[in-house]
Chain A
Amino acid sequence: MRRFFPLLRVFSVLLIGFSFCLAVPMAVSWYVDDGAHSAFDEAFLVTLMCGLALFLATHRERREMKVRDGFLLVVLVWTLLPLFACLPFWLHLDISFTDAYFEAASGLTATGATVLSGLDHMPLSINFWRTFSHWIGGMGVVVLAVAILPLLGIGGRQMFRAETPGPMKETSLTPRIAETAKGLWVVYLILTLACGLTLWTLGMQPWDAAMHAFTTMGLGGFSSKDASLGHFNSVEIEIAVMGFALLSGMNYATHFLALRQRTLSPYRRDAEIPYFLGVLAISILALTFYLQALGVFGEFGTALRYVAFHTISLATSLGLTTADYGQWPFFAQLWMLFLGSFIACSGSTGGGIKMIRAMILYKQLYRELLLALHPNAIWPVRIRSAVVPQHVVAGVMAFGFIYMVTIVTLTLLMTASGMDIVTGFSAIVATLNNTGPGLGQVGPAATFAVLSDFQTWLCALAMLLGRLEIFTLLVVLIPAFWRK
């Protein structure tokens, strides 16, 4: 047990830090006096006490963490923090602990699948906490910690490696990991501020603007309104949200470089962006024409408005909605859901397998076909001018495989527990990709409240798997991890 003490010490520091995140909605609750502050008081105190107790028990262990400790820490953070984050929901709202945990996990993993309804009449602080957790989770609680933990003299690099999404983890932006993390957070902060101010000037109330900026930049999906973004019924707001969702779906490292060098050239050099924007543009146009041909919308402009918003929202794993696309032809719904599994760029706040992996998988497929024609050919998989080493390609293929296996397994478990296939499958895909709304009974007009407790836990698991890119969670489950 002692070997976990250094790890637990780091976790305790994180937990104390997280308790102050809870203090933000608590302050909001006190300020607007919405009647929910007792729940936040208790949640804050419980989290702080747990953190302090753990810290006191373990603070004497000042050993450097190992890589495998990093993996375990990340898993602990993502599974245990929702436990504390869900306290306000559980204490204040009339819902089961399962639903509360689901809601908190959905918030921190920036998924946006909700079990709550009647949002319009909820206390402001509850909605604020839901979207604020998106924002914290969007960039990763751990990356935030990386900016602070090195100051405490505990290994940051291991954690960063386990956390950052995408296969090419070796590229460092700055020599020091803490500098990198800080830089990324500054970019995140600037973009969020810009998003919030834009929404405010476009006519949102200040609180709504803040909450929707959080949800947009974290690519979460919670809204303070039952009708989601459709509540505002404003083309300008939709365009602004689309724009910031696209920015957030790109690699933050690219934003960081562009900001530091004050040029746009990093965007031109980014290998993912052309595919990211290209696939989206083609999908939007194709779906618009498809829906127009089927006569779903009267005017082309209206069709384009709704298709563009939902395609971008679902593909980037944002998950805000402006209309009930559950009424659209099934093909369109499925396509948008499917896009969410690979569109977001690596290093973004989006979900799915990430564009870079999709590109590598595609190029590897092409390579195999080419080798069938030219057995002697040497055809490396390349991203821009860089050759992707074969061991990385193999890792990506394993990742793609485990991603499919996860979907199939969890879908099977959903149907085994009595769920229909459309709802079961789409709920798993939507949560594994951290998108949010699914199809059928969990479609845009409904909530995840229809799920049984078992199914809710399955979806919560899918969210965590998706956010941790599956491998991180699986690695701590294999016996070799626990051997000395």
Chain B
Amino acid sequence: MKILILGAGQVGASVAEALASEANDITIVDQNREFLAALADRLDVRTVTGNAAYPNVLREAGIEDTDLLIAVTQSDQTNLVACKIARSLFNVSTRIARLRSPDLIEPGLLSNENFAVDYAICPEQDITDYIVKLVEFPEALQVLEFANGKVTLVGVRAKPDGLLVGKPIRTMREHLPAGVDARIAAIFREHQPIEPDGNTVIEPGDEVFLLAASRHIRPVLKELRRGREPVKRVMIAGGGNIGLRVAQALEDRYEIKIVEFDRRRAELIAGKLAHALVLSGSATDENLLAQENIDEIDMFLALTNDDEDNIMAASLAKRLGCRRVLALINRRAYADMVQGGPIDIGISPAQVSIGALLTHVRRGDVVKVHSLRRGAAEALELVAHGDKNSSKVVGRRIEELPKIHGAHIGAIVRTGKQAEAVLRDGIVDYQRIERVIIPHHDTVIESDDHVVVFCVRKREVAQVEKLFQVGFQFI
């Protein structure tokens, strides 16, 4: 596929990286020559320097035979214009734009007659949602949703005194309340995946990924964390875009303190927050942290745009007695280095936001893609189409499917034949009942099932996608 990426910032670079490894032709446009040079050194991509809102620059970047345009520059305006040009002059079939301002999501504004944006993504909002989930499920390393929130995947680190540790995983179900089912989708031990089966014994320090129906995830986690107190007090370091959004999303339910270094910025965000306490100062200043009772804080979120600051602030907070610390870390090397050490959770912003984008890039019927472990693994939600003849999966039992090493099916969401009446905005609406199935070896996949597939290494993704594609010869 020929892909044109506009903007070589954090998002653009990580999109390029994710897609370059999947045999795509990628061209990147940016105004900053150094950014492009750094990318060209690392990846097999073409680069063009220039303003992405000009047709000439786009023509030079080969937009005429591009299949997919990804406009992820810093400026909403440039992204909108680029999409419009791509549609009007060059007829690019799929156009994705990053839009930071929620004001632009007006009905009709992004339609083909107007700005012609097929998919609008907002990385800041994706990261915010991701962090908010982690605050809601404080024991989790990652919380991801599939099938419109019906299925949830949670990553947790096994604690020495934890419920699961030292037992074979087939005994897990005994600890869960009746009617609650969950599946251990993957285990990573010292960064290496191990294929779990019923006899695998979880060791302290393992990263365990649990998959369950969303309404079951709370009881499951409750079992796991028995005796631990919920989060009440949260401190945020950095009042930038993400820090402010997270604070706004949390301030009604939690006690929030937010530390911002730039005094002007601090005054600005103080005006936008109703309850959160804005502090002006450095989050790496231990006196400030001590004065604000860091040892009473349940969760510390380091959300500045500087990796080193985030790591230092989070480590310091942990040392001063904060229960759980989380840091935004852009460089993967750093993240692998510190997660599990001084820092409980390291988040790679690019990997979080890229999931939404990858969904639109992938072939087949991919509904949702989530990067796991900062891009090392992936969880996909695919729709099975066709019948027993045209599809390689429909109508087959799971044990009959070709074995792909390192990939397996975690959950199936099936839309039932009957409809149930739901009251929505005062109007009775008929909605098909959706059922979450935790599959076993003899479960048969049906057409239109949403299947959540877990790939412990990225190289299996293409094979999985191919498996779910409907064969050409049968159409």
* Contact assessment for A380 and B270 in the assembled complex, using a CB-CB cutoff below 8 Å: yes
Is A153 close to B, CB under 8 A? no
A376 partner residues in chain B, CB cutoff 8 A: 259, 279-281, 288, 291-292
Residue on B nearest A384 in the bound complex, by CB: B274
Is A3 close to B, CB under 8 A? no
Question: Could you give, for residues 368-401 of chain A, a 1 whenever the CB lies within 8 Å of some chain B CB and a 0 otherwise?
Answer: 0010001111111010010100000000000000
B288 partner residues in chain A, CB cutoff 8 A: 376
* Contact assessment for B266 and A378 in the assembled complex, using a CB-CB cutoff below 8 Å: yes
B281 partner residues in chain A, CB cutoff 8 A: 376
* Cβ 8 A contact of A387, one of B263, B271, B291, B292: B271
* Cβ 8 A contact of A379, one of B263, B278, B291, B292: B278
Residue on A nearest B263 in the bound complex, by CB: A378
User: How many Å from the CB of B295 to the closest CB on chain A?
Assistant: 16
Question: Could you give, for residues 313-347 of chain A, a 1 whenever the CB lies within 8 Å of some chain B CB and a 0 otherwise?
Answer: 00000000000000000000000000000000000
Is B267 close to A, CB under 8 A? yes
* Cβ 8 A contact of A378, one of B278, B291, B292: B278
Q: Which of A377, A379, A380 has the most chain B CB atoms closer than 10 A to its own CB?
A: A377
Bound CA–CA A11/B274 (angstroms): 47
Residues 286 to 313 of chain B near chain A (Cβ within 8 Å): 288, 291-292
Bound CA–CA A380/B270 (angstroms): 7
A382 partner residues in chain B, CB cutoff 8 A: 271, 274
Is B277 close to A, CB under 8 A? yes
Bound CA–CA A382/B273 (angstroms): 10
Bound CA–CA A375/B280 (angstroms): 9
Size of A's binding interface in residues, CB under 8 A = 11
* Contact assessment for A375 and B271 in the assembled complex, using a CB-CB cutoff below 8 Å: no
A377 partner residues in chain B, CB cutoff 8 A: 277-280
Residue on B nearest A382 in the bound complex, by CB: B271
B278 partner residues in chain A, CB cutoff 8 A: 377-379
Bound CA–CA A98/B33 (angstroms): 84
Bound CA–CA A132/B292 (angstroms): 60
* Cβ 8 A contact of B291, one of A375, A380, A385: A375
Q: Which of A370, A378, A379, A385 has the most chain B CB atoms closer than 10 A to its own CB?
A: A378
Residues 440 to 457 of chain B near chain A (Cβ within 8 Å): none
Question: Could you give, for residues 116-134 of chain B, a 1 whenever the CB lies within 8 Å of some chain A CB and a 0 otherwise?
Answer: 0000000000000000000
User: How many Å from the CB of A267 to the closest CB on chain B?
Assistant: 21
Bound CA–CA A380/B264 (angstroms): 12
Bound CA–CA A380/B271 (angstroms): 7
A375 partner residues in chain B, CB cutoff 8 A: 291
B260 partner residues in chain A, CB cutoff 8 A: 378
State whether A380 and B277 are in contact (beta carbons under 8 Å apart), knowing that A374-B292, A375-B291 are contacts in the complex: no
Residues 241 to 299 of chain B near chain A (Cβ within 8 Å): 259-260, 263, 266-267, 270-271, 274, 277-281, 288, 291-292
A374 partner residues in chain B, CB cutoff 8 A: 277, 279, 291-292
User: How many Å from the CB of B273 to the closest CB on chain A?
Assistant: 10
* Cβ 8 A contact of A380, one of B263, B267, B279: B267
Bound CA–CA A380/B277 (angstroms): 10
Bound CA–CA A385/B248 (angstroms): 13
A370 partner residues in chain B, CB cutoff 8 A: 277
Residue on B nearest A390 in the bound complex, by CB: B267
B267 partner residues in chain A, CB cutoff 8 A: 378, 380
B270 partner residues in chain A, CB cutoff 8 A: 378-380, 387
User: How many Å from the CB of A127 to the closest CB on chain B?
Assistant: 51
B279 partner residues in chain A, CB cutoff 8 A: 374, 376-378
Bound CA–CA A385/B266 (angstroms): 16
B274 partner residues in chain A, CB cutoff 8 A: 382, 385
Residue on A nearest B260 in the bound complex, by CB: A378
A378 partner residues in chain B, CB cutoff 8 A: 260, 263, 266-267, 270, 278-280
Bound CA–CA A375/B281 (angstroms): 10
Residue on A nearest B287 in the bound complex, by CB: A376
User: How many Å from the CB of A103 to the closest CB on chain B?
Assistant: 48
Question: Could you give, for residues 358-371 of chain A, a 1 whenever the CB lies within 8 Å of some chain B CB and a 0 otherwise?
Answer: 00000000000010
User: How many Å from the CB of A390 to the closest CB on chain B?
Assistant: 10
A387 partner residues in chain B, CB cutoff 8 A: 270-271
User: How many Å from the CB of A389 to the closest CB on chain B?
Assistant: 10
Residue on B nearest A388 in the bound complex, by CB: B271
Bound CA–CA A187/B263 (angstroms): 44
Bound CA–CA A379/B280 (angstroms): 10
Bound CA–CA A375/B278 (angstroms): 11
User: How many Å from the CB of B32 to the closest CB on chain A?
Assistant: 33
Residue on B nearest A370 in the bound complex, by CB: B277
User: How many Å from the CB of B223 to the closest CB on chain A?
Assistant: 38
User: How many Å from the CB of A384 to the closest CB on chain B?
Assistant: 10
Residue on A nearest B270 in the bound complex, by CB: A378
Bound CA–CA A190/B292 (angstroms): 55
B266 partner residues in chain A, CB cutoff 8 A: 378
User: How many Å from the CB of A458 to the closest CB on chain B?
Assistant: 44
Residues 67 to 110 of chain A near chain B (Cβ within 8 Å): none
A379 partner residues in chain B, CB cutoff 8 A: 270, 277-278
User: How many Å from the CB of B360 to the closest CB on chain A?
Assistant: 36
User: How many Å from the CB of A376 to the closest CB on chain B?
Assistant: 4
Question: Could you give, for residues 164-196 of chain A, a 1 whenever the CB lies within 8 Å of some chain B CB and a 0 otherwise?
Answer: 000000000000000000000000000000000
**Residues of A with Cβ closer than 8 Å to B?**
370, 374-380, 382, 385, 387
Would you list 22 pairs from A and B whose C-beta atoms are within 8 A, ordered by A residue? A370-B277, A374-B277, A374-B279, A374-B291, A375-B291, A376-B259, A376-B279, A376-B292, A377-B279, A377-B280, A378-B263, A378-B266, A378-B267, A378-B279, A379-B270, A379-B277, A379-B278, A380-B267, A380-B270, A382-B274, A387-B270, A387-B271
Q: What 7 new A-B contacts, CB under 8 Å, besides A377-B278, A382-B271?
A: A374-B277, A376-B279, A376-B280, A377-B279, A378-B263, A378-B270, A378-B278
Those 5 A-B pairs whose CB atoms lie nearest each other, nearest first: A387-B271, A378-B278, A376-B279, A378-B270, A378-B266
